[in-house]
Structure 1
Amino acid sequence: MHVFELGFVAAVLLAATPILYAALAGAISAQVGVFNIALEGQMLWGAFAAVAGSYYTGSAWGGVLTALVSTALFSVVLAVGAARWHADPIIIAIGTNLLAIGLTGFLLRVLFDTSGSFSPRGLEGLPKMAFLADVPVIGPIFAGQTALVPLAFVLIVAVGLWLKRSAGGLRLRGVGEHPDAAAALGVNVASYQTWVTIAGGALCGIAGAQLALGNVTVFTENMTAGRGWIAVAAVMLVAGRPLWLPVACLGFGAAEALGFRLQGIGAPQQLTDAAPYAITLLVLVATRIRFAKRASLTST
């Protein structure tokens, strides 16, 4: 087994991409003061919508568009509840996570008369960038990936730079850091929070589409398997610095890809499956310690 080869790098990117889209959604929501832990449910709904959209339209890109639009609509519950009605976003997010699990399972039975998983013959998966196969170094890494993989990194850089260097980005950050001051300057805080949360839902839709039509070509009940919670941990780890999200998400992707490689040499599946989540717990503990130290320094 050759772990540190270009094929392993490709596997890391494949595993990390859905988490990266979801983490970007959580990061921009956090920038406007809405802590979004509904990433798991939104990604799961996006995965279901992508497969259903691809099945009914006969096009994988039709599935991606279906996932993007429908997940944005799915996130309206959190956006309106938290921004307009000032309800607790944690409670709403937990409710939407549970709703996504139940609703996708229910619709799987109603629309497709099946349960567990859905992968009909002829289901369109996202096309790979096979035209890169002959390019040295880049080819083995990206030829088997979809266009959504490099797009994720482009979006991270674009959003990170926009938040740091543009007037609109600084205004958006101001809404999250000092909402009263932003409101005093005439900024509609609720509107910013609503639309940014909905945009985050659209990103989670793309995350689900990549997971269901890019990483695999199937929908399985609860197939996100905690990836949304890993994205939440990544958001907490970078602490308001979206440009660092690729580092955090690639770390989680490496843990998942390494787990698959270790299964190939006989490691117990239960142990390797737990690796990304064990790392998530360690990240949360480290983040809590860091925040505690920062609070103690501030109080002194």
Structure 2
Amino acid sequence: MTFNADLIYSIVSSTLRSSVPLILAALGGCFSMRAGVSDLGLEGMMLAGSFFSVFGSWLTGNAWLGLLFGILFGVIFSMLHAVMHITYRVNASISGMCVNLLAAAATPLLLNEVFGMSGKSPMVEAFKKPNWEWLNNIPVIGRILGAQNILFFLAIILVIISWIFIYKTKTGLRMRMVGENPHAASTVGLNVVAYKYFGVAMSGSLAGFAGAYLSLGQMNLFVEQMTSGRGYIAVVINAFGRYNPLGVLGGSIFFGFFDALQTVFQNVFPSQLVMMTPYVFTLLVIAFGLGGGRGPAGVGKHIES
């Protein structure tokens, strides 16, 4: 393979496309962790979003409504995590894994019951790359941005809005206080339970959005286990980015680059070697890149009833 300008454009464009579901899912994890609830259920919420967005698009014939279905069911699955952990005080790692296992078991069953198919769903209406000619006139980055669909730009906007909300608004400050010290937050009159539920609901909505991107943004159908562990990678990215939306953006692009290598170099190196690349770098980041980092001090803590 010859390295030239076209190959570089292809790698960068593919990196941005691959980073979008990671950005969205890890961004959802920011809200959950900042509210004091572990984000280990992201994989299941993403998988639910992938399936139900396709179901919504199949039912309505509209990709935007399909996206809303994915977001809604991402929230519904996140509420299972929230009820178990916040209300019934089940260990957050257990409740998160319950959501992941439920989604992994329910989506193949629903795929067979709803569509009468195994392995993958029928093709549905999906998001197409917008034909924005003016983007191609922008030097260097125009060609790269022109290769993305509308959901990429929405993801970037959501990163900016989330950073402003978490760090520049009174509600965001209070949510961070709940995540750091729920007892102190309760003492000053904050509704700790409500803030925790809000954080988990936001994680579900953004993870559902991430799942919808996989099935309606990158493809036009649902494939069993199509998240392929991206929810777990998003948990690592969230820690790597220090639970900050801007850090999540950078970390997602970093991991998206290695994910993109699967597409760009699949015909150059053995497919098994290329496919394992993102997971190898995930393990390396866990081993060497998270030293000294810590989550909010109040994660997993409850206030006395």
Both proteins in one fold, TM over 0.5: yes
Q: How far apart in 1 are the matches of 2:167 and 2:185?
A: 17
Q: How far apart in 2 are the matches of 1:65 and 1:2?
A: 41
Aligned to 2:200: 197
Aligned length: 289
Aligned to 2:55: 52
2:61 is the counterpart of 1:64:
no
Which structure has the highest helix share of the two? 1
Match for residue 12 of structure 1 among 15, 35, 38 = 15
TM-score by length of 2: 0.90
Aligned to 1:298: none
How far apart are residue 288 of structure 1 and its match? Answer: 4.7
Aligned to 1:141: 144
Match for residue 284 of structure 1 among 265, 279, 286 = 286
Letter in 2 for 1:88: N
Aligned to 1:275: 277
Q: Conserved in 1, the CA contact under 8 Å of 2:36 and 2:196?
A: yes
Deviation digits for residues 152-191 of structure 1 (CA, Å, limit 9, x no counterpart): 1221122112222221111110000011110000001011
How far apart are residue 199 of structure 1 and its match? Answer: 1.6
Task: Tell which deviates more after alignment, 140-149 or 270-279.
Answer: 140-149
SS at match of 2:291: helix
2:219 is the counterpart of 1:216:
yes
Q: Conserved in 2, the CA contact under 8 Å of 1:130 and 1:144?
A: no
SS at match of 2:40: coil
Deviation digits for residues 78-128 of structure 1 (CA, Å, limit 9, x no counterpart): 1122222222111011111011011000000001111011133xx211122
SS at match of 1:75: helix
Q: How far apart in 2 are the matches of 1:91 and 1:32?
A: 18
How far apart are residue 200 of structure 1 and its match? Answer: 1.1
- Report runs of 4+ in structure 1 exceeding 4 Å deviation: none
Deviation digits for residues 277-300 of structure 1 (CA, Å, limit 9, x no counterpart): 0111111112453349xxxxxxxx
Q: Conserved in 2, the CA contact under 8 Å of 1:79 and 1:195?
A: no
2:246 is the counterpart of 1:248:
no
2:114 is the counterpart of 1:101:
no
Q: Conserved in 1, the CA contact under 8 Å of 2:44 and 2:77?
A: no
Match for residue 80 of structure 2 among 71, 77, 80 = 77
How far apart are residue 230 of structure 1 and its match? Answer: 0.7
Q: Conserved in 2, the CA contact under 8 Å of 1:105 and 1:221?
A: yes
Q: Conserved in 1, the CA contact under 8 Å of 2:22 and 2:231?
A: yes
SS at match of 2:292: helix
Q: Conserved in 2, the CA contact under 8 Å of 1:25 and 1:199?
A: yes
Aligned to 1:125: 126
2:160 is the counterpart of 1:152:
no
Letter in 2 for 1:23: A
Letter in 2 for 1:280: T
Q: How far apart in 1 are the matches of 2:217 and 2:202?
A: 21
Q: Conserved in 1, the CA contact under 8 Å of 2:26 and 2:237?
A: yes
Structure 2: state its 5+ residue gaps: 295-305
Structure 1: state its 5+ residue gaps: 293-300
Please give the root-mean-square deviation of Cα atoms over the aligned residues, in Å: 1.6
Q: How far apart in 2 are the matches of 1:113 and 1:285?
A: 43
SS at match of 1:15: helix
Q: How far apart in 2 are the matches of 1:214 and 1:157?
A: 21
How far apart are residue 59 of structure 1 and its match? Answer: 0.7
How far apart are residue 62 of structure 1 and its match? Answer: 1.2
Aligned to 2:302: none
SS at match of 1:153: helix
Alignment of 1:23-34 (within 5 A): 23-34=26-37
